[in-house]
Structure 1
Amino acid sequence: MKVFVAGATGAIGRQLVPRLVEAGHEVHGMTHHASNSQLVRDLGAAPVVADALDADQVAEAVGRVQPDVIVHQLTSIGPMDLRHFDRAFATTNRLRTEGTDHLLSAAQAVGVKRFVAQSFFAAYERVGGTVKTEEDSFGPHPAREMRETVAAIRHVENSVLNAAWTKGIVLRYGGFYGPGTSLGPDGEQTEAVRQRKFPVVGDGGGVWSFIHIADAAEATVAAVERGSRGIYNIVDDEPAAVAEWLPELARTLGAKKPMHVPRFVGRALTGEIGAVMMTELRGASNAKARRELGWEPGHPSWRQGFAELSAEQVRA
């Protein structure tokens, strides 16, 4: 198939494009900057330079390629500050709203058969069971600092799933870790753990689901080839509470145990979102993706993946 990857040079795009090429697909990688064209070629794809926030440029690019499938992986995340989460995601939120609309409009014009888009697990409603399936709803009251971000994620999902003219597929990825991510060998979050600046807040009962960036790419290839209309959680097999995974991450990195702070202190330091993510977050089940996509994560548990981060740190 001819596959158009929007966001080809991002963390997941760099993992996804070579896998699509290896699977025999003709891949065209869209990038905002002409300077990234050689990188796209090195990944094995034909470069397409276009501004995702310019409807005419997107329409021209998609019209020229005439793809069978579009994969929407557009993000542009600034330096992370939990107290100003929406500010860090401001451009990404535009890419998830305006950018999604531009891609869908261009896709409809050329008759794209399948449209695969990135979403995120962390917006699930924070009541009931600690592990959610695709049938569970997003919460109606996201943390104040991420209301715009959750609204943008909702826009992606609703727009893609309601596009009756194509097979719309939404991938709710877990928290990325691995090369090129903020939880990579030299990533922002990893450094915070090493420097003991990533505390356990309250009881650390928030449940996170992780996915290694390479496993996320493999699942995306499966969705391109075999996905049905709908939502898939793309996460590993072991959702875990912060109180469990954060000390283990510190241990594997050879760092001191993370500090524990009361919830009110965590909230003062990181805003409502930090307290919510540390104490209330719900994880996700990958049973549907395993069953329907024939996919399984190469890193079944974050434990294995975190150990790799430590090994890569030693080699560096």
Structure 2
Amino acid sequence: MHIFLAGATGAVGRSLIPLLIENGHTVAGPTRSAAKADLLRSLGAAPVVVDGLDRDAVRSAVAAERPDAIVHQMTALTGMADLRRFEQAFAVTNRLRTEGTDHLVAAARDAGVERIVAQSYTGWPYARTGGPVKTEDDPLDADPPRQMRSTLDAIRHLEQAVTGAGGVVLRYGGFYGPGTGLVPGGEQWDAVRARRFPLVGDGGGVWSFTHIQDAAGAVLAVLEDHRPGELYNAVDDDPAPVREWLPALAAAAGAPPPRHVPRLVARLMGEHLVTLMCEVRGASNAKLRHELGWTPRWPTWREGFAALERSRAAA
């Protein structure tokens, strides 16, 4: 297949391009910056300079490439080390999840492209009721804190637009690994090392993680066994509360244990901090495993964080 990979220079894109090529596919790699063309060529993709928020440019680029599939991995995830500015950190990503998604869906329709795969997120959007681990059949949060509402609205928009067009949505967990902020030298890693990532309350919020290589593998699985209109949680096998994974991450980063902040104090900095640290639910990958035979290369963050520690020690 010829793949139009929107978000080709992002963390998932950079892991996905070589994987697609190894499996016999060709890749057109859109980028807003001509300066990144050489990076895309080095990975094996044909660069296409286009802004994902420019409707006409996107439609022209897709028409010119005539792809067999469109993969939407566009995000702008910066400033993620400071959770107090949650809404601000996701502002551009939310535009890419709404406007950018609509442009790609329209371009796919015009070009007769039936296979669309898009990136969504499952790290916190599920309803904060019931058990600690959710499936794709469970509802999303009906009343998130104010700072999280625009981002959840954008996630809902993306999922409805893509599945409504017969595409497939992959809900990733928290990213870690090469090209992400959670790797030695990354902004989240450094925040943990500097003890700027506290443990709030009982740390009972359950998080799911996705190694960036497993995110790429999930895209390949969905492309090669396309099931129109489906949603899949693409996460590891080990949802875990913050009180387990955050101290382990601090140890991997060679840092002291995280500071503890009471719920009442954290609430003064933003209700969403309490939600993220104490209330969110994890996600099950059983559907993706059962229907498509996908298995994560990194089945647990425990192994993955240890690998990050080894890479830090070897540096």
Same fold (TM over 0.5): yes
Residue type of the alignment partner of 1:54:
D
Give runs of aligned pairs for residues 57-68 of structure 1, distance below 5 A: 57-68=57-68
**1:151 matched to which residue of 2?**
153
Question: Could you tell me how far apart the structure 1 residues matched to 2:261 and 2:56 are?
Answer: 50
Aligned CA-pair RMSD: 1.0
Question: Could you tell me how far apart the structure 2 residues matched to 1:23 and 1:146 are?
Answer: 38
**1:238 matched to which residue of 2?**
238
Question: Could you tell me how far apart the structure 2 residues matched to 1:101 and 1:255 are?
Answer: 43
**1:41 matched to which residue of 2?**
41
Question: Could you tell me how far apart the structure 1 residues matched to 2:191 and 2:268 are?
Answer: 18
Cα deviations across residues 233-257 of structure 1 (Å, max 9, x unaligned)? 0000000000111111112222111
SS at match of 2:119: strand
Q: Percent identity at matched positions?
A: 59
**2:132 matched to which residue of 1?**
130
**1:4 matched to which residue of 2?**
4
**1:106 matched to which residue of 2?**
107
**Would you identify which runs of 4 or more consecutive aligned residues in structure 1 move more than 3 Å?**
none
Question: Could you tell me how far apart the structure 2 residues matched to 1:105 and 1:257 are?
Answer: 49
1:94 aligns to 2:95 (yes or no): yes
Residue type of the alignment partner of 1:60:
S
Give runs of aligned pairs for residues 122-271 of structure 1, distance below 5 A: 122-163=124-165, 167-229=166-228, 230-269=230-269, 271=270
How many residues align? The count is 312
Give runs of aligned pairs for residues 11-22 of structure 1, distance below 5 A: 11-22=11-22
Residue type of the alignment partner of 1:187:
G
Residue type of the alignment partner of 2:143:
H
Question: Could you tell me how far apart the structure 2 residues matched to 1:90 and 1:254 are?
Answer: 32
Question: Could you tell me how far apart the structure 1 residues matched to 2:89 and 2:260 are?
Answer: 26
Cα deviations across residues 64-103 of structure 1 (Å, max 9, x unaligned)? 0011100000011232332321211111111111111111
TM-score of the pair, normalised by structure 2: 0.97
Is the Cα contact below 8 Å between 2:32 and 2:52 reproduced in 1?
yes
Question: Could you tell me how far apart the structure 1 residues matched to 2:242 and 2:31 are?
Answer: 35
How many angstroms does 1:227 deviate by?
Answer: 3.2
Is the Cα contact below 8 Å between 1:227 and 1:293 reproduced in 2?
no
Residue type of the alignment partner of 2:67:
P
Residue type of the alignment partner of 1:183:
L
SS at match of 2:167: strand
Is the Cα contact below 8 Å between 2:184 and 2:253 reproduced in 1?
no
Question: Could you tell me how far apart the structure 2 residues matched to 1:308 and 1:214 are?
Answer: 13
Residue type of the alignment partner of 1:307:
A
How many angstroms does 1:144 deviate by?
Answer: 1.0
Question: Could you tell me how far apart the structure 1 residues matched to 2:101 and 2:111 are?
Answer: 16
Question: Could you tell me how far apart the structure 2 residues matched to 1:101 and 1:193 are?
Answer: 36
TM-score of the pair, normalised by structure 1: 0.96
SS at match of 1:134: coil
Question: Could you tell me how far apart the structure 1 residues matched to 2:252 and 2:274 are?
Answer: 24
Is the Cα contact below 8 Å between 2:203 and 2:277 reproduced in 1?
yes
Query: Mind listing any 5+ residue stretches in structure 1 that lack a counterpart?
Result: none
Is the Cα contact below 8 Å between 1:210 and 1:236 reproduced in 2?
yes
Cα deviations across residues 91-137 of structure 1 (Å, max 9, x unaligned)? 11111111111111010011112100000002011111110000011
**1:312 matched to which residue of 2?**
311
Question: Could you tell me how far apart the structure 2 residues matched to 1:265 and 1:217 are?
Answer: 39
1:69 aligns to 2:102 (yes or no): no
Is the Cα contact below 8 Å between 1:179 and 1:185 reproduced in 2?
no
Question: Could you tell me how far apart the structure 2 residues matched to 1:184 and 1:273 are?
Answer: 24
SS at match of 1:123: coil
How many angstroms does 1:190 deviate by?
Answer: 1.1
1:83 aligns to 2:84 (yes or no): yes
Residue type of the alignment partner of 1:152:
A
How many angstroms does 1:292 deviate by?
Answer: 1.3
Cα deviations across residues 269-310 of structure 1 (Å, max 9, x unaligned)? 3x1111101000100000011111211011111000000111
Cα deviations across residues 139-172 of structure 1 (Å, max 9, x unaligned)? 1111211111111111000001111xxx310000
